[in-house]
Amino acid sequence: MIDKFVTNKIAELTIEGEKYSLPIIEGTEGEKAIDIRKLRQETGYITLDSGYMNTGSCTSEITYLEGSKGILNYRGYAIEDLAENCSFVEVAYLLLHGHLPTADEYQHFSNLLGRFALIHEDMIHFFDHFPPNTAPMAILSSMVNSLSNFYPEMAENPIEDIDIMATRLISKVRTIAAFTYKKSMGWPLVYPRHDLSYCANFLNMMFDSPVKPYVINDEVVAALNKILILHADHEQNCSTSTVRLVGSARVNLYASISAGISALWGPLHGGANQAVVEMLEDIYASDGDYQTYIDRAKNPDDPFRLVGFGHRVYKSYDPRSIIIKKACDDVLEALNVSDPLLDIAKELEEVALNDEFFIERNLYPNVDFYSGIIYRAIGIPSNMFTVMFALGRLPGWIAHWKEMWDDPNWRIGRPRQIYVGPKHRPFIPKEEREKKDR
């Protein structure tokens, strides 16, 4: 895939007077990269790039992200258009296949989601053996990894039928997530229904009860669709890179996705929206004194940071946050919810958008800033927020895993390092070591 984007331009590298020519690769949106695949072979040198801030691990046709301009496109489609006009199922199909589905393709994909919605009954007993108060992400990661044992045929030719592979996982993770919540509450499980859409089905499994039937609200379903679409992919982030790296060893899809779930679990990655709500709760508990928290964030000697502001990639407004803010307003209005945390969030946003300290540092509200408020309004507890993130990110993970598997330039991931430990030391037998110590 890389070679067709190699230009006739080269970069010259001089090392100890010796010059080397390195090919320049240019992507379809104008991104440029210096191809260093033969650098060590030709020069004996490697590059050092902590956090991979300047290193491209692959070429990809899935997502384009331009942080300086606030652009996010899936397969060439603007995130704004997809969030406004598509369902999550349509976007999942787009990420996997590279084009939006026709009516027949959509129906086939949806039918498969319905067909695979149930999990094996034996898996339900797994929930009973996790310790009390087990983190939902730990349960999700374990359950997804175990799926390879229930569907071993996927290991033989895992990309022969991408729709069966993808819908089985996307549908079952939805059920596992809902069952995880029900089990944590000690409530009876609610099984999926064939007559409900993907998001409506999830909400019904989460909140329906024998003593209080769940009433599906179209505005809530629409908001959940938007949130999942906004989280469906985000280029080579920590969890997606993890899925690719683990998958590069030709590990089965379930194990690769399980690894991605574990990476997403981190508070600096998928746990950020939970951290936002916890911060807003702290501010509310201190009589809503948000100014104190703003002052702390601006104090260089205080390690405190406002959660939900700024982004490692976006250096302008996160395009997803604009969409999700409106969805948040719509949900609260539809449910007639008055949330004091939302009032505090709006005050913080107003300050950040008009304060030179935040403007100069590009600390704009990001997608995590409002998603937690929506989840609270829907009734999803904060310890399930990262599970919701994983549910949305699944299509992207699967698409990247498949793309990596299909890549003719595939190599098993094996980063290099610069060793900075002690130089070679002579071995001393244990008896002599003891004498030396005395």
Q: What is the SS3 string spanning the chain?
A: CCHHHEEEEEEEEEECCEEEEEEEEECCCCCEEECCCCHHHHHCCCCCCHHHCCCCCCCCCCEEEECCCCEEEECCEEHHHHHHHCCHHHHHHHHHHCCCCCHHHHHHHHHHHHHCCCCCHHHHHHHHHCCCCCCHHHHHHHHHHHHHHHCHHHHCCCCCCHHHHHHHHHHHHHHHHHHHHHHHHCCCCCCCCCCCCHHHHHHHHHHCCCCCCCCCCHHHHHHHHHHHHHHCCCCCCHHHHHHHHHHCCCCCHHHHHHHHHHHHCCCCCCCHHHHHHHHHHHHHHCCCCHHHHHHHHHCCCCCCCCCCECCCCCCCCCHHHHHHHHHHHHHHHHCCCCCHHHHHHHHHHHHHHHCHHHHHCCCCECCHHHHHHHHHHHCCCHHHHHHHHHHHHHHHHHHHHHHHHHCCCCCCCCCCCCCCCCCCCCCCCHHHHHHHHC
pLDDT tens-digit series, residues 19-43: 999 999 999 998 999 999 999 999 9
3 or 405, which is more confident:
405
Q: Report the percentage of the chain scoring pLDDT > 90.
A: 69
Distance CA 315, CA 199 (A): 32
Residue of 368, 406, 407, 424 with catalytic role? 368
Residues 6+ apart with CB under 8 A from 421: none
Domain ranges of the chain: 3-66, 78-415
Q: What's residue 132's pLDDT?
A: 85
Mean pLDDT of all residues in 303-319: 82
- Does the annotation count 194 as an active-site position? no
CATH number of 78-415: 1.10.580.10
Q: What's residue 121's pLDDT?
A: 94
Question: pLDDT class for 99, splitting at 50, 70, 90?
Answer: very high
Q: Report the percentage of the chain scoring pLDDT > 70.
A: 97
pLDDT tens-digit series, residues 176-187: 999 999 999 999
pTM of the predicted model, to two decimals? 0.92
CATH topology of domain 3-66: Rubrerythrin, domain 2 (2.20.28)
pLDDT tens-digit series, residues 107-149: 999 999 999 999 999 999 999 999 988 999 999 999 999 998 9
Distances (CA, A) of 279 to 57, 222, 247: 35, 27, 36
Residue of 231, 234, 311, 400 with catalytic role? 311
Query: Where is average pLDDT lowest: 40-54, 103-117, 171-185, 356-370?
Result: 356-370
Q: What's residue 313's pLDDT?
A: 81
pLDDT tens-digit series, residues 268-285: 888 888 888 899 999 999
pLDDT of 1 over the 60 cut: no
Q: What's residue 204's pLDDT?
A: 98
- Does the annotation count 424 as an active-site position? no
